[in-house]
Amino acid sequence: MAKTIESFGIPVVHVCSIVPISLAVGANRIVPATAIPYPLGNPELSKEDEFKLRKHLVMQALEALTTDVEGQTVFKE
Amino acid sequence: MKRIVHYINQFYGQIGGEEAADLKPLKKEGPVGPGAALNAALSGEAEIVSTVICGDNYFADNGDEALETILAMIEEEKPDMFIAGPGFNAGRYGLACGTICDAVKTKLSIPVLTALYPENPGAEMFKKTVYIIEAPMTAAGMKDVIPKMASLAKKLLSGEEIGFPEEEGYIPQGFRVNFHTVQNGAERGVDMLIKKLKGEPFTTELPMPVFDRVDPAPALKDLKHARIALITSGGIVPQGNPDHIESANASRYGIYDISDLSYLPADKFTSVHGGYDPVYAMDDPDRVVPLDAMREIEHEGVIGELYDHYYATVGNTTAVSNAKKYAEEIAQDMIKNNVQAAILTSN
């Protein structure tokens, strides 16, 4: 889906737990997520810390959207 | 002797090039053009009794009507088999070869065969239902293709068992067939590994699908004024799953209003994804669709605006063709609603 939408000229960042799948399928901007059942969270953290983690991931995703990339790019910490 | 009807376009029918591409379907007795070589290669086991010729544009522009006419011409001959092409990498011709083969197979219940370059759209569309001999891109490869076509045609006519694609030269149809092997899977796997380690060639028994690539879209220039959408393949939908999105192999997606929400309340949203443990997502759907974080970021003025709907489907053994179709529709909806970028979340 990411690459199809990108083919319309709309940048898409794929926040996903299984980066190798995203790379295989062809997403161009990839931000690794926390875990499969809770990609943007972590139930072991307090509500406040979990929100901070989620906001941090979303900020990373926004940074990926504002970054020009040549090819497939995984945005790590 | 078995009777074969052969289909070719105006060019191979020796009528003309593009200027003759509007030619209406016509029928000639016996083999024409590449049909002569094909007929010879059938070595007396079958013969081309007649040849149907149609212009590429005529067939492309007159769809069902052209197909009906051609089907009637073929049926009149009471053939035992139908062969089209080879169409190599010619788009319109290849599509015609595939379309007519598929229709003849369905309507007349006789074996059909064509030969196309694997990336010909006709091959993409019909390789699952029609035996398509893998042809090179251009007619320069005619000599190699004709014997393969004749060989498979003879087998199809005699009802002989059809071998694997690599033996017969046809494009894989995506079927799995059980067969006995001397070595068990472990032995074959280890043999393959040893060959790989030695740098020797080996053949996989399960080729991985090849995905096409798309050039990255240009980066968002003005985040502070951008309208951004959330998309998920994580199956987060309103309680009750109003669009009945399937938990696996989804055939649809949904668009859901979040204009009045600052987070996704667990009593209003749930997960219908069948491919992960949904407990944590059901407990707090923001763990999959980060609405709460996006709202705060929106209030802080980091982004212009969060689009007031989000898109959701279930990415669980979902066909790539379906995902592509949803994405095209979603992209068009985004363009219509002036959305400039998207965050897609997957479990």
In chain A, what are the helix, strand and coil shares in percent, each to the nearest 5?
A: 40, 15, 45
- From B177-191, B316-330, B332-346, the region with the lowest mean pLDDT: B316-330
Longest CA pairwise span in chain B (Å): 82
Residues of A in contact with B212 (CB under 8 A): 26
* The predicted structure's pLDDT at residue B318: 74
Burial letters for B90-103: b for 16+ Cβ neighbours within 10 Å, e otherwise? bebbbbbbbbbbbb
* The predicted structure's pLDDT at residue B246: 94
For chain B, domains (ranges, CATH) are 2-168 (3.40.50.2300), 223-345 (no CATH)
At residue B287 the predicted structure's pLDDT band, cuts being 50, 70 and 90, is: very high
Does residue B113 carry a pLDDT above 90?
yes
- How many Cα atoms sit within 13 Å of B13 on the Cβ side? 28
* The predicted structure's pLDDT at residue B207: 77
Mean pLDDT of chain B: 94
Does residue B212 carry a pLDDT above 90?
no
Residues B347, B44: Cα–Cα separation, whole Å = 60
Interface test with A, best of B210, B211, B214, B334 (most A CBs within 10 A): B214
Query: What DSSP state is assigned to residue B170?
Result: B
Chain segment B184-211, per-residue pLDDT in tens:
999 999 999 999 999 999 988 887 766 7
Chain segment B122-155, per-residue pLDDT in tens:
998 899 999 999 999 889 999 999 999 999 999 9
Chain segment B305-314, per-residue pLDDT in tens:
999 999 999 9
At residue B258 the predicted structure's pLDDT band, cuts being 50, 70 and 90, is: very high
Chain segment B71-88, per-residue pLDDT in tens:
999 999 999 999 999 999
Chain segment B29-62, per-residue pLDDT in tens:
999 999 999 999 999 999 999 999 999 989 988 8
> What one-letter code names the amino acid at B267?
D
At residue B281 the predicted structure's pLDDT band, cuts being 50, 70 and 90, is: very high
Profile chain A (77 residues) by mean pLDDT over runs of 10 residues: 94 92 89 93 96 97 96 90
Residues B58, B66: Cα–Cα separation, whole Å = 7
Interface test with B, best of A8, A29, A40, A70 (most B CBs within 10 A): A40
Locate A23 and state its tokens: 């790379």
Helix, coil or strand: residue B202:
coil
Q: Does A49 touch chain B (CB under 8 A)?
A: no
Nearest chain A CA: its distance from B302 CA (Å): 9
Interface test with B, best of A58, A60, A63, A68 (most B CBs within 10 A): A58
Does residue B284 carry a pLDDT above 90?
yes
* The predicted structure's pLDDT at residue B322: 83
What is the average per-residue pLDDT within B219-248? 96
Q: Considering only alpha carbons, which residue of chain B is nearest residue A8?
A: B331
* The predicted structure's pLDDT at residue B257: 98
Query: What DSSP state is assigned to residue A34?
Result: S
* The predicted structure's pLDDT at residue B342: 98
Residues B163, B177: Cα–Cα separation, whole Å = 10
Q: Considering only alpha carbons, which residue of chain B is nearest residue A25?
A: B211
